[in-house]
Structure 1
Amino acid sequence: MPAPRHLDPRLLRAFLAVAEELHFTRAAARLYVAQQALSRDVRRLERELGAELLVRTTRQVTLTGDGERLVPLARRALQAQDDLLGAFGQARPLLVDLNFPDQPTARRVLYRARELAPDLELMARYESGLAGAAGEMVAGRLDVSFGRFAGLDPALRSRLEHRLVRYEPMAVVLPEDHRLAALAEVPLAELAGETVYAGAGNPRTTEWTDLAHRLFECRGIRIAAPAPLAVGDEEFRRIMAKLRNPILAVVGFPAMPGTVLRPLVDPVPLSPVSLVWRKGLVHPGFDALRQAADEIAARERWLSRPTDGWVPAIDEDTIGAHT
């Protein structure tokens, strides 16, 4: 059968989603279409190309040889379409994860990028942590996120790119009546014997819990046991108020009723925040996002480190290898 002279890009997107997910239900959810419609588009693509692309059983979906051959070709074709539309101001929305609504670094970068590219749509998402966002980026459901790149699983890191944008000084959130609440700054040594909440048990924030482990190691500070997974700011604050554990945070962490935020010192622990994106991403909104990050970082010296700043060795190595 001769190759079709015209091919609907929607069919390629349908095939690529299934090829990457190897699961029709997940692929349909990713594209916001009915599974029946997705199956119909894949079958139509197979008819038009005159090739079987997928082997479907009741238990699994696998790629045929022709399917494997089509994957890189489909990616290039769809990227070319995105580039063309972007050049004429018709780019699809760029999906940008901010972790949580008041994340100080990510929010400022996004807002500045919107100022630089007012005709583009940069849509905010909230995955709560980079570990949660990383899987979404690899799957193509999200474009960009922020967070500690070195804390990701190496298999995920290999499929992503990053650029360090800030060393964010860390802090601790304390109940107003805590023994350390009267201090303007809290030396790390003063937390010895305390049990501090650092997101343990939350699969979306494993990079943050790992950072806490490295910071607290050999300092006599315990990480609090997993708490009920709270969805939304109100529920998080309610759970934290009930447990009354100090909370590991950053200096720009939003205020919580009945608590105080105190910077950590001696040494000053730093959370390395990177702009993270999936490999091969091309989008005019992404260009604006990188420009915004570089602009703010230079103006406010986000990449300057205090003389007693602390960063884990693994982060030093990862930052040196990727920047």
Structure 2
Amino acid sequence: MDLDLAQVRAFVVTAEHLHFGQAAGELFLTQQALSKRIARLEETIGVRLFDRTGHSVRLTPAGERFLEPARRTLTAAETAVAAARHDDRPLRLDVWGHMFAPMQTIREVVDRRPDLDIELSLRRGLAAATSALLREETDVGFGRVHAQGEGLPEALTHRLVRLQPMAAVLNAQHPLAGEAELRPADLREVTVWFPVQLEKLDFLQRLCDDFGLTGEFGGVNLGLDYFLDHLRSTPEHVSLLPLGLPLPEDAGVRAIPLVDPVPLYSWSLIWRANDQHPLLQPLLGEFARAGREQGWTRYDPERHWLPASEVGQAGKAVPPGSS
């Protein structure tokens, strides 16, 4: 029996999501095309793999038995391709958006697959990362892709991989420092500060515009120590960082979750559409698995805020509690 690997991959991704819409999005397929692949696979092996009842999807007993061998089949195929190409060069991963701690996400993914040979490089922004990809100096980029790909060259493709909640960061003596949570609207009477030109950080510009906040942006991004020193010496300023970012215990600042709504900072991967590096697909797969397990792309319009240009892409992720 000859198995079609594209059909097997369609089954595995759908089994991991138990949601045809999400699986189709991950595979860059329409739901109709995904359903056809799975139907052909079921026809080939002669058993039904999924039970579909209304909006509910679940594995049949045959599907449960098939899942792990199917995963091993895909891994073996990736290994065979890598061996045939004999490409020993590391996967060159470019990262930008340093003040918002991209390495936190990269570390969480790479720790899951220490066997991936990855070489990191740092760029100053999306434009520089895009140019490096087009010149084939790098293989894949990780950072914020404005408007989820609007204006990217046709040779590049991208995937949203994480929506990260944000926190307000402020001097421990600030009048709001004792709050357990803050709403974006609570920041209207303070100055939101960040050490970068506003046009280079569209996320903060759109946040300020949508919630009527006053922003002060400019200067040179000299890293986290400078950032914290400024908040200590300028107690009237408030800034933003990803929720959960470790801060020194003696930093003299507090990070307070933002709620009602929760602003989400989007992280994406971009790569050349025709890239053949054997480690690219394993890296994309690990990001997808981490996202499913940890809810990285969960988006609920009743609870979360995104710039309007990004809602459509995030909307492909089903709100919590949906199937």
Deviation of 1:201 (Å): 1.6
Which residue pairs with 1:108 in the alignment?
Answer: 108
Range 120-129 or range 165-174, more displaced? 120-129
Are 1:220 and 2:216 counterparts? no
Deviation of 1:278 (Å): 2.9
Which residue pairs with 2:277 in the alignment?
Answer: 283
Q: Which residue identity lines up with residue 112 of structure 2 in the other structure?
A: R
Deviation of 1:267 (Å): 0.8
Are 1:92 and 2:92 counterparts? no
Q: Secondary structure at the match of 1:103?
A: helix
Q: Secondary structure at the match of 1:281?
A: coil
How far apart in 1 are the matches of 2:178 and 2:121? 36
One of 309, 312, 320 as aligned partner of 2:304:
309
For residues 14-67 of structure 1, the C-alpha deviation after alignment (integer angstroms, 9 at most, x for no partner) is xxxxxxxxxxxxxxxxxxxxxxxxxxxxxxxxxxxxxxxxxxxxxxxxxxxxxx
One of 247, 251, 257 as aligned partner of 1:255:
247
Q: Which residue identity lines up with residue 118 of structure 2 in the other structure?
A: L
Deviation of 1:297 (Å): 0.8
Aligned 1:123-202 pairs, distance under 5 A: 123-127=119-123, 129-151=125-147, 154-201=150-197
How far apart in 2 are the matches of 1:279 and 1:311? 27
CA distance 1:153–1:162, shift in 2 (3 Å): closer
Unpaired runs of at least 5, structure 2: 1-79, 317-323
Deviation of 1:121 (Å): 2.0
For residues 186-223 of structure 1, the C-alpha deviation after alignment (integer angstroms, 9 at most, x for no partner) is 111110022213453278xx2xx211121121423122
Q: Is the 8 A contact 1:194 1:222 kept in 2?
A: yes
Are 1:293 and 2:287 counterparts? yes
How far apart in 2 are the matches of 1:191 and 1:263? 13
Range 122-131 or range 232-241, more displaced? 232-241
Q: Secondary structure at the match of 1:193?
A: coil
How far apart in 2 are the matches of 1:179 and 1:157? 47
State the superposition RMSD in angstroms.
3.0
How far apart in 2 are the matches of 1:258 and 1:210? 28
CA distance 1:279–1:90, shift in 2 (3 Å): closer
Q: Secondary structure at the match of 2:219?
A: coil
CA distance 1:150–1:263, shift in 2 (3 Å): same
Q: Is the 8 A contact 1:188 1:267 kept in 2?
A: yes
Deviation of 1:105 (Å): 1.9
Aligned 1:39-58 pairs, distance under 5 A: none
Q: Is the 8 A contact 1:98 1:107 kept in 2?
A: no
Unpaired runs of at least 5, structure 1: 1-82
How far apart in 2 are the matches of 1:235 and 1:139? 34
How far apart in 2 are the matches of 1:200 and 1:93? 32
Q: Secondary structure at the match of 1:284?
A: coil
Q: Is the 8 A contact 1:96 1:123 kept in 2?
A: yes
Which residue pairs with 1:12 in the alignment?
Answer: none
Aligned 1:67-82 pairs, distance under 5 A: none
Q: Secondary structure at the match of 2:244?
A: coil
Q: Secondary structure at the match of 1:261?
A: strand
Q: Secondary structure at the match of 1:297?
A: helix
Q: Is the 8 A contact 1:138 1:156 kept in 2?
A: no
CA distance 1:218–1:163, shift in 2 (3 Å): closer
For residues 147-173 of structure 1, the C-alpha deviation after alignment (integer angstroms, 9 at most, x for no partner) is 332347844354421111122111121
Q: Is the 8 A contact 1:228 1:239 kept in 2?
A: no
How far apart in 1 are the matches of 2:134 and 2:277? 16
TM-score, structure 2 length as denominator?
0.62
